[in-house]
Amino acid sequence: MSERLVVVGGGMAAVRLVEELTARSYDGSMTVLADEQQAPYNRILLSAVLEGTHGVDAITLRPASWFDAHGVELRLGARVLDVDRERREVMLVDGTRIGFDRLVLATGSIPTLPPIRGLVRMDGSLHPKVHAFRSLADCRGLDAAAAPGARAVVVGGGLLGLQVARALAVRGLHTEVVEGAEHLLASQLGEPGGRVLARDLRRLGTSVYTGARVVRMTEAGVRLDNGYELSADLIVLTAGGRPSTALARRAGLMVRRGVVVDSDLRSVTDDRVHAIGDCAEHRRRVTGFVPPAWEQAGVLASVLCGGAERYDGSRSVARLRATDLEVAVLGDPEHAAGEVVEMTNPIAGSHRRLVVEGGVIVAAALVGDLSRVGLITQLYDRGTVLGPDEPGQLLLGEPAAAPVALPDEAEVCACAGVTAGTIRGCSSFDACREGTRATTGCGGCESVVRRLLDEAEPASLSRA
C-alpha cells in the first residue's frame, strides 16, 4: 500500500505542500484536513478584501475541484481533536479516525487575545463589538459591521493592524490605532521608522496611541491604561498571534514556541511527523510569514519524495499591503549583526536603514520611500557583495539628470547617425532632412532638430 499522508491545516503552507507534491508526482495518498468551511484561500490578502481592492473571488488559492482533479482528499470543516501517534491516527471532533503513515502539521497560528476586561463574555464568545481578523469568516463579519462614519479602534500596531486600520479608513471609518509598544511596528522597526510611520498615519487621518494598552471595554468603547477613553462602534484585535501548537503538545511532541523541527522539517520527537509554516520552530525561530512557509513546503515535498533538499532557514521580506503606507522590512533590521547605514528624513517622511555585513545586505527597513525596494530586495535575496559606497548610494536614490547643452559632437539622430554640429550647419529643417537624413528613421529626434535649427541659443536635452 502506498504511503498515507495526512496534512492538518488548509492554509497557505498546506496548499503549497500539496501543490509541490503534486508537481513532483508524489506517489502516496494525500488527505488535507481544513478546519474552515471555505476552500483554501490567500489569507494574507484578507485586508485587501476588507479594503475593497480585491474581490473575494480573487483570493481563492485552489478550488475544491482542483483537489478532486489531482486525487487529493480535501475535507473542509474537519477539526482535529487529537493525534494518536501510537496507532498513527488522527481523531476529528466528530469522532472520525483517519490513519496516517506520515503526518504534516500546518496548523498556522492563532490570534492572541489581549487582557482586556469585558472582551470575552461569560459564555466564552467575544463582545459583539469585537472582531478578530484571522479568517475569511472574521473578514466577512468585519466587512458587514464596517459602516462608513463608524468609529473603529484597532488594537495592535503591527503589520496586520496597520493594514486593517488603513482598510477601514479607506472605507470611511473614523479609525484609531492603539499599540502597547513605544512605537508602531515595534517588532520590525526601530523608533525613527515607527515615528515616520505614525506621522504618515496621522496625516492620513488615523490617530495613533503608542505606549498605551486597552484595558477594558466601556459603554462607549474602550478605556486605555493612560486613562483615555476612545469611543468605538467596533474593535478589531490584531495584537499578534502565536503558533498553534495545542495539538502537538497533547500528542507529546517537543514544542517550545512552535513545533520543534530539524532541517527535514521533521519533529525532533517523531520522525513520522513534520511541521511547516507558522506552527513550526526551526533553529529556535518561528517565522509567521508566507514566503518561509512556502520554502518549507517546497523542501518538505522534496524530502517526502526522496530528494536531497534540506531547509536552512529563510530570508524574510515583510511588506505592508495598504494604500498610501509604504513599508518593507527585510530580515531583522533591529537585531541583525552588521554595520548600519541609515537615513531618516522626517520632513519628507522617509526612513531607510540597511544592515550590512561583509558587504552583504543582511537586513533592511524602508519606510515612506520604496523607490529602490525592488533593487534592494534583489541584492538582499541574492547575497550580493557590495562595494563600500553602494549602501549609501542605494539610500540616496537616483540623482535627477541635469539638462545639458548639446555639444557639436553629440549624436542627435541615432537612426541616421547625425550630430548636433552637422544639424546646426544646415540652413533649414527640410535641407537637414534631405542632406543628412536626420529625422527620417524613427522620427524621435524631430523636435530636437527643430530646436537646434530654430533657436540661436544652445538647445538642451534632459536625457543623460
Contact set with other proteins (CB under 8 A): 41-42, 44-45, 48, 53-55, 57-63, 66, 290-291, 317, 319, 321, 326, 370-371, 373-375, 377-379, 381-387, 389-390, 393-394, 398, 401, 414-417, 437, 440-444, 463-464
Q: CA Rg, the chain, in Å? A: 29
Q: Smaller CB distance to other proteins: residue 341 or 370?
A: 370
Smallest distance, Å, CB 195 to other proteins?
Answer: 23
Which H or E run includes 379?
helix 373-382
Q: Are 175 and 165 in contact (CB under 8 A)?
A: yes
Smallest distance, Å, CB 68 to other proteins?
Answer: 13
Smallest distance, Å, CB 122 to other proteins?
Answer: 40
Smallest distance, Å, CB 405 to other proteins?
Answer: 19
Distance CA 365, CA 394 (A): 13
Distance CA 263, CA 266 (A): 7
Q: Smaller CB distance to other proteins: residue 42 or 107?
A: 42
Smallest distance, Å, CB 147 to other proteins?
Answer: 22
Q: Smaller CB distance to other proteins: residue 37 or 447?
A: 447
Q: Smaller CB distance to other proteins: residue 222 or 418?
A: 418
Smallest distance, Å, CB 83 to other proteins?
Answer: 29
Which distant-in-sequence residues (6+ apart) come within 8 Å of 124 by Cβ? none
Cell numbers given for 380: 538582499
Helix (H, G, I), strand (E, B) or coil at 30: strand
Q: Smaller CB distance to other proteins: residue 378 or 428?
A: 378
DSSP structure string for 298-344: HHHHHHHTT----------EEE--BTTB-EEEES-TTT--SEEEEEE
- Closest Cα partner for 395 from 349, 342, 444, 356? 342
Q: Smaller CB distance to other proteins: residue 93 or 375?
A: 375
Q: Smaller CB distance to other proteins: residue 119 or 276?
A: 276
Q: Smaller CB distance to other proteins: residue 134 or 321?
A: 321
Q: Are 167 and 137 in contact (CB under 8 A)?
A: no
Distance CA 8, CA 135 (A): 16
Q: Are 48 and 321 in contact (CB under 8 A)?
A: yes
Smallest distance, Å, CB 328 to other proteins?
Answer: 8
The C-alpha cell 494598552 sits at 213
User: How far is residue 404 from each of residues 130, 444, 454, 464, measured CA to CA in Å?
Assistant: 61, 18, 18, 8
The C-alpha cell 514544542 sits at 255
Q: Smaller CB distance to other proteins: residue 256 or 382?
A: 382
Smallest distance, Å, CB 266 to other proteins?
Answer: 26
Distance CA 331, CA 156 (A): 21
Distance CA 303, CA 398 (A): 45
Amino acid at 362: V
Q: Smaller CB distance to other proteins: residue 216 or 437?
A: 437
Smallest distance, Å, CB 457 to other proteins?
Answer: 23
- Closest Cα partner for 238 from 152, 323, 121? 152
Q: Smaller CB distance to other proteins: residue 119 or 317?
A: 317
Q: How many C-beta neighbours within 10 Å does residue 87 have? A: 11
Smallest distance, Å, CB 235 to other proteins?
Answer: 27
Q: Which residues on adjacent β-strands are paired with residue 363?
A: 355
- Closest Cα partner for 290 from 103, 41, 29, 462? 41
Smallest distance, Å, CB 353 to other proteins?
Answer: 18
